[in-house]
Structure 1
Amino acid sequence: MAYLDNIAVFVRVVELSNLSAAGRDMRISPAVVSNRIKELEKHLGVRLFNRTTRQLTPTEHGTVFYAGAKQVLEAITMAEAAVSALSGQPRGTIRVTAPLGLGRRLIASGIPEFRDKYPDIEVRLRLSDHDVDMMKEGIDVAFRLGVLEDSSLRMRGIMNCERVLVAAPAYLEARGEPTGPDQLVGGGHDCLMLRYPGMREHFWTLKTPSGPAKFEVRGPFDSDDGDVLTGWALSGRGIINKPRFEVEPFIRDRRLKVILPDTPPIPVQLAAVYPHKKLQDPKVRLLLDFMAERCQRLINNLLVGK
């Protein structure tokens, strides 16, 4: 078992290119990670990593061993999943990620309830509005609002979510309410954007009489946290583009007002994304079923004010 543990640590070090990051991911100290790598190198009789003060990269031996080690760990995972399916007692760890707003409102609060039903399943939740590399980070399930671009992944659609443009009444009184989407471009209005390093989209896609159209909007503020944008909008700093369920309570109490209702943003799909093999894992299927039903119910409740 110690040898398999050493292999698992080695694989995460390769994937994260860092001893400390692998240790945090596996909840062990960097010293333990280093010792496990040394034990593995001693057992194999080769050096697995080239080490410098700034970089950790696998040697040729390390690269070859990683490919085989990854297959071994995946085979063990699937064998354990098959046993769980036969026994009817799913167990193990699921790594889940979701955007900040979606995760806080819909996913995080459901994790304890899920574990109450399945006490042998541990869930590790990571919330981030950044794009997460599922394979590199070892993520089993990602809940996303948007389209699937990675063809190596599979997607389970949960529901289509209406999006709206909203702003505080104080902002609209000061700047005037736009009567058409063209008034959003060229600095005519302050549009609050979700942005982070590597993000490809810097525009809003709205429904128009001639079909979906992209508008290059600008504003003095942007953030990599969608809830920060909502806070700025509530304080009268600009216009935001949001899933309606996230801002419906503020629309209902008139702290935010929907603008341009005839040319709204295109809807976005809430979906669960996962590596293809993961659907064969009973605990992953259980989580997908649980969260899909929960998200649909909570979103509908938010939209009707329950």
Structure 2
Amino acid sequence: MAYVNNIRMFVRVYELGSMSAAARDQRTSPAVASSRISELEKHLGVRLFNRTTRALQPTENGKVFYNGARNVLAAIAEAEADIIDADKNPRGTVFVAAPLGVGRRFIAPFVPAFKDDYPQIDVRLRLSDRLVDVTSEGLDVAFHMGPLADSTLKMRVIADCPRLLCAAPEYIAEHGNPADGAALKDHACLNLRYPGAQEFQWALQMPDGVKRFDVTGPFESDDGDVLTGWALEGHGIILKPVFEVAEHLRAGALVPVAVNSPPLPTQLICLYPPHKLKDTKVQVFVDFVTSRCKAEMMRQTGDL
């Protein structure tokens, strides 16, 4: 910044033809103005002005440097104006990741409305039920179900999400309704798995506390909606956030099972790198989507 101030002082001395006039223009003293010019000359290794007691004339090097210096200051002014404008009219591209169910139900539907309000911001939405690495994958925002063990990321809780075990009535008619988590060992449990996933257990609330149960079944998938489809066809039991199966519960196509040992609730959270807190386009996207996402989630599950 000191170097830029020295350049700015040089330009004003050159244009006003006087050290004292330039000092007044920059709201400083002639001594400070002279010092800045001397620092600049020392840095460049050339004289920029010929000084006498009566006159101050630019050297040939000074004339050459003036043209470049003026362009530098103009570029800085333009960049500063762009930043100020960006705060009022954000622009650019926001890279977003979300789980399939959340993305399809609560993120993707709001993207067109966001684009209408912020026409200079583009959205690149990636949907996957695998865990994403926000930093290494160059994401601005990631929506996630449950806590994520990465203390370098900033987190915003969007909504608390109750969960349940459910299955199709046809499955229950054939295999029975498990009394609690301990009975799941005799049932087909449909699991969400993806590359790198840890061994899966279902954490359920038993009368004597939370217990984790190993569960197995004939099918696995890295797509949560595929699991729901299999459950609807009567192939097994799924563990789901209520919002993902609300419509099927209302229709009676899925019914709760093992109600004496419900799953632990989870949370829908939004994650982003700390430096993105100052990125206006990210701020407005997160604010826009999360408020609508929470309201829509409450609307869809309010009567269950």
Whether the 8 Å CA contact 1:97–1:143 is kept in 2: the answer is yes
- The SS at the match of 1:136 is coil
How far does residue 305 in structure 1 lie from its aligned partner after superposition? 6.3
2:154, 2:259 → 1: CA distance?
Answer: 33
- The SS at the match of 1:292 is helix
How far does residue 280 in structure 1 lie from its aligned partner after superposition? 1.0
2:148, 2:291 → 1: CA distance?
Answer: 21
The 1:278/1:133 distance shift into structure 2, 3 A limit, reads same
The 1:261/1:82 distance shift into structure 2, 3 A limit, reads farther
Identity of aligned residues (%): 50
Residue number among 265, 284, 287 corresponding to 1:286 in the alignment: 284
Q: Indicate the residue corresponding to 1:269 in structure 2.
A: 267
The 1:113/1:201 distance shift into structure 2, 3 A limit, reads farther
How far does residue 206 in structure 1 lie from its aligned partner after superposition? 0.8
Show the 5 A alignment for 1:181-192: 181-185=181-185, 188-192=186-190
Whether the 8 Å CA contact 1:81–1:90 is kept in 2: the answer is no
1:80, 1:161 → 2: CA distance?
Answer: 43
Q: Can you list the C-alpha shifts for 1:150-184, whole angstroms capped at 9, x where unaligned?
A: 12211101111000100000000000111121011
Aligned-residue CA RMSD (Å): 1.9
Q: Indicate the residue corresponding to 2:174 in structure 1.
A: 174
Q: Indicate the residue corresponding to 1:92 in structure 2.
A: 92
Q: Indicate the residue corresponding to 1:217 in structure 2.
A: 215
Counterpart residue type for residue 166 of structure 1 = C
How far does residue 304 in structure 1 lie from its aligned partner after superposition? 3.3
Whether the 8 Å CA contact 2:242–2:301 is kept in 1: the answer is yes
How far does residue 274 in structure 1 lie from its aligned partner after superposition? 0.5
How far does residue 285 in structure 1 lie from its aligned partner after superposition? 1.1
How far does residue 141 in structure 1 lie from its aligned partner after superposition? 0.2
The 1:132/1:272 distance shift into structure 2, 3 A limit, reads same
Whether the 8 Å CA contact 1:98–1:129 is kept in 2: the answer is yes
Segments of structure 1 that go 5 or more residues without pairing to the other structure are: 1-78
Q: How many residues align?
A: 226
Residue number among 233, 241, 253 corresponding to 2:239 in the alignment: 241
Counterpart residue type for residue 229 of structure 1 = L
The 1:254/1:154 distance shift into structure 2, 3 A limit, reads same
1:139, 1:120 → 2: CA distance?
Answer: 19
Q: Can you list the C-alpha shifts for 1:183-203, whole angstroms capped at 9, x where unaligned?
A: 112xx0000000011001411
Segments of structure 2 that go 5 or more residues without pairing to the other structure are: 1-78
- The SS at the match of 2:136 is helix
Whether the 8 Å CA contact 2:201–2:212 is kept in 1: the answer is yes
1:193, 1:81 → 2: CA distance?
Answer: 53
Counterpart residue type for residue 189 of structure 1 = H
Whether the 8 Å CA contact 1:84–1:91 is kept in 2: the answer is no
Q: Can you list the C-alpha shifts for 1:78-136, whole angstroms capped at 9, x where unaligned?
A: x8899157751111110000011110000011111111000011110000111112112
Structure 1 moving runs of 4+ over 3 Å: 79-82, 84-87
Whether the 8 Å CA contact 2:179–2:259 is kept in 1: the answer is no
How far does residue 144 in structure 1 lie from its aligned partner after superposition? 0.6
The 1:302/1:168 distance shift into structure 2, 3 A limit, reads same
- The SS at the match of 2:157 is strand
